Structure 1
Amino acid sequence: MRASVRTARAIGSVAGQALRVAFDRSVPTGGARAPLRVEDVTAAWLAEVFGVAPETIHHIRVVDAHSGTAARARIEVTSDADIPASLFLKMPPRNYFQHVLMNLFSLGAREIDAYRALGDAPPIRVPHCYATRFDPVRGRAVLVLEDLSPTARFRTVGDPLDRSEAEAVVDAMADLHAAFWQDRAGEAGTTSATRSEVETQLGILIRRRLLGTLTGHAADLVPATVREQIRIFYQRGREIDAFWANQPQTLIHGDPHLGNLFFEDSTPGFLDWQISTTGCGMRDVAYFANSSLEPELLREIERGLVERYAARLDAAGITADPEQLWTLYKVGIAELLLAIVCTAEAGERMQSPAVTRCGVARAVAGVEAHDSLALLAALLDDMRV
């Protein structure tokens, strides 16, 4: 397909979703299957979700609510029925731009797919998903999840993480990836949708816009050499996708920075599966380690983390070459750099400057330590031979 046609389709998709979201927000009373706002969550709707009589639910109180890439709310429920007294809801974001973005890249639908794939007995700790609702006409996605606040400790990217905690997260990632392991892309059993052609082209256009000239609040942290090298993500974006698709595939979280994790005692758990997909497991490991650990500590332990991951896969019956995983780890750091620099360039509506500056600094340290972008270019060149 010619690039001009792909671009036209991508722009058309943006326009269509912008109109769809504008209509949904201006005429919000439709889509009763998936409420637009937490204020629209009624006793009747909650009763339908849990399969109980509406008269058994007496009161719903919003304890707290905020909105980012999705709207999140914790509610308390007074009821005679056997349902949790506290619930956590994920819904369409309040910000118009983020709502359009959610629809364009099917973020809500991806998270629903991830919880369905994980099932009732997931291989790692995740919030229990009581129910999901999706309105295909309006594109709304709603998840009714376990409220973790009584038991979990939450972190931000800037919080310290020690060696034992990092090892526990890598162990959990190995368990997740082993449970969904595929030797090659396209095997039966794919766990979550890959990007569509329109999503791929749109991603390239967004990267070109954000990475062509860095002007965001973390631009000063990106050296000139890295600024030049990072253009590979829109200049050779489809080759990069093909490279990762040629690696063993599994269900990956996609965005496992420390802010998307929680801990119960020493056990880590994983939140926010909006960009989960079928992909290379080492991308999760590299992304987590380089976004969540201070570079000085990480340089000391990262090779051991990769070897630990390989040994955990081996114990699950999956043969993995530690040297090949180490190569994938080094090039996988570039994926973190792409994500965090684009987030910083998109502005504060995506993430706070403190968080993105910390993430950009760590990602730059990683790609410079391992020359990740040059390694990526070399691997792509090898594919052409």
Structure 2
Amino acid sequence: MDIRGGFVLGSRAAGAMGRIVADRFEEGLGRALPRTPEQLARPEVVNALIREYAPAASEPLPPLRAVRLPGVEFESSNCTNFLVELEFENDDPVGRPLPRTAYVKLPCRDLGTRAFANAVGFWEVEATFCERVAARVPIRVPRVYAVARRGARFVLLLENLQELPGARMFINRDMAAGTTPERARQCLRSFAQLHAAFWGWTAEQRDALVPASLHTYLAPGGREMTRALNAAAIGPAQRAAPDIFGAEHAALFRRATEKWDALIDAWYGGPLTLIHGDSHLANCFEYSSPEGPRIGMIDFQGMHWCKGIRDVQYFLINSLEPGILAEHEGELIEAYLEALEERGVVLEVEEARDQYRAFSFQTLMVAVTSIGLGSLTERDDTLRTVLRRSVAAIERLGFGDWLSEL
């Protein structure tokens, strides 16, 4: 591992472990955030969370009489996600329909993943989205009832989207099965709606909403840490999936880490917008509206300031089979550009295609670090599918030639 990057990651991990230990001490004194579903599922705990940690832009839920665990949990690579049933003391004073359930996210139980998540900061990013950004985005996202951060722990108390009329949630198996160009076009329209709302903001505007200190690549130490993580993943990923990630792909990956500063400058120079950052099918959901089916988004752990096309290529490469994508890629990119233009943002086709090609490495990068380091995603058939699609994309798009010219 790169020495400077290893030092950055090591120092962050050490700080994270210190906070984790401190949390257990605070728990013994009754001052920590809940660690388990059982600790959370009490009316006095949830009422305190809503009272103290409801986002400023929201109308807090009224007091609860009872909170129950129905035993419904959801897959996650780094969180404990589950439902709670809510029983309110009274009807809502302003006549709102009250939720029957809430979706809760807590840190996962695995100590190594908890330390890694705190060191890299993606839990803090999602909490920041829920606290500051969710109420401002123009697309449908879960309503936030409470968001709390303390030490190395967090609690997100969110809307259960299954209560929405016509809601359909997608999961990793749906992504692995592959979606259709028609559904992809729907998702890209939502991406354009999100991106257009923040397109071209100044650095001051961006920092006021989502601080630069949370940017995975541009925060102090971010370049060094991400380069080190990527370099460390190459060998293990090749050993784990030699039939997909061969020697020629590993060599290209090493070349990219050697040009890391130039890559970061290319990815994050010029007009930026707010992107989801983990925009595959399993982080989208479908719901009914008066105008017909619409697409919303969940799980904003990867949110950052970037070029909007990054969300586009990440979705398309991850979520469509390579043959289908190759046939429809151009028209889908143009559909996104048309949706942007409808909202007053002009991005030329050739520039968009060049950005798409440049960012294709990020999709491969996420797959390689996940399978190589085993920290963020389950090592299963879904991950192998994503790796296979990512390798096919960089070959088809000629990322290696683009990198040689950088």
TM value normalised by structure 2? 0.84
Equivalent residue number for residue 107 of structure 1: 122
Cα deviation, 1:8-46, whole Å, max 9, x if unaligned, reads 343222222233324435763467463222221121121
Distance 1:90 1:31 in 2: 20
Distance 2:337 2:161 in 1: 31
CA contact (8 A) 2:68 2:85 kept: yes
Equivalent residue number for residue 180 of structure 1: 198
Q: Does the residue aligned with 1:73 lie in a helix, a strand or coil?
A: strand
Alpha-carbon offset, residue 65 of structure 1 = 2.8
Q: Does the residue aligned with 2:286 lie in a helix, a strand or coil?
A: strand
Distance 1:356 1:25 in 2: 33
Distance 1:160 1:171 in 2: 18
Q: Does the residue aligned with 2:240 lie in a helix, a strand or coil?
A: coil
Distance 1:35 1:146 in 2: 19
Equivalent residue number for residue 387 of structure 2: 360
Equivalent residue number for residue 48 of structure 1: 48
CA contact (8 A) 2:237 2:369 kept: no
Q: 1:64 to 1:249 in 2, by over 3 A?
A: same
Q: Does the residue aligned with 1:228 lie in a helix, a strand or coil?
A: helix
Q: 1:325 to 1:117 in 2, by over 3 A?
A: farther
Alpha-carbon offset, residue 257 of structure 1 = 1.4
Q: 2:162 aligns with which of 127, 133, 149?
A: 149
Q: 1:293 aligns with which of 311, 317, 320?
A: 320
Distance 2:14 2:66 in 1: 42
Q: Does the residue aligned with 2:206 lie in a helix, a strand or coil?
A: coil
Equivalent residue number for residue 16 of structure 2: 17
Which amino acid in 2 is paired with 1:143? L
Q: 1:116 to 1:178 in 2, by over 3 A?
A: farther
Alpha-carbon offset, residue 159 of structure 1 = 2.5
Equivalent residue number for residue 276 of structure 2: 253
Cα deviation, 1:269-292, whole Å, max 9, x if unaligned, reads 211111211111111100000000
Distance 2:252 2:261 in 1: 16
Alpha-carbon offset, residue 158 of structure 1 = 1.4
Q: 2:186 aligns with which of 168, 172, 178?
A: 168
Q: 1:282 aligns with which of 309, 314, 327?
A: 309
Q: 1:175 to 1:32 in 2, by over 3 A?
A: farther
Of 112-121 and 86-95, more deviation after overlay is shown by: 112-121
Q: Does the residue aligned with 1:254 lie in a helix, a strand or coil?
A: coil
Equivalent residue number for residue 65 of structure 1: 73
CA contact (8 A) 1:61 1:77 kept: no
CA contact (8 A) 1:70 1:91 kept: yes
Matches within 5 A, 1:254-333: 254-264=277-287, 266-333=293-360
Identity of aligned residues (%): 24
Structure 1: gaps (5+ residues): 381-385
Equivalent residue number for residue 215 of structure 2: 194
Distance 1:8 1:334 in 2: 25
Alpha-carbon offset, residue 361 of structure 1 = 0.7
Equivalent residue number for residue 403 of structure 2: 376
Q: Does the residue aligned with 1:28 lie in a helix, a strand or coil?
A: helix
Q: 1:352 to 1:74 in 2, by over 3 A?
A: farther
CA contact (8 A) 1:216 1:346 kept: no
Q: Does 1:28 align with 2:27?
A: yes
Alpha-carbon offset, residue 345 of structure 1 = 1.3
Runs in 1 of length 4+ with deviation above 6 angstroms?
52-55
Cα deviation, 1:139-180, whole Å, max 9, x if unaligned, reads 322111111224333232213311110001111111100011
CA contact (8 A) 2:127 2:147 kept: yes
Which amino acid in 2 is paired with 1:130? Y
Aligned length: 374
TM value normalised by structure 1? 0.89
Equivalent residue number for residue 93 of structure 1: 108
Equivalent residue number for residue 37 of structure 1: 36
Q: Does 1:132 align with 2:147?
A: yes
Distance 2:277 2:71 in 1: 29
CA contact (8 A) 2:195 2:308 kept: yes
Distance 1:140 1:229 in 2: 38
Of 85-94 and 222-231, more deviation after overlay is shown by: 222-231
Alpha-carbon offset, residue 187 of structure 1 = 4.8
CA contact (8 A) 2:62 2:88 kept: no
Q: 1:40 to 1:213 in 2, by over 3 A?
A: closer
Alpha-carbon offset, residue 228 of structure 1 = 0.4
Distance 1:5 1:225 in 2: 27
Distance 2:228 2:143 in 1: 36
CA contact (8 A) 1:108 1:274 kept: yes
RMSD: 2.5
Which amino acid in 1 is paired with 2:170? F
Q: Does 1:242 align with 2:265?
A: yes
Q: Does the residue aligned with 1:220 lie in a helix, a strand or coil?
A: coil
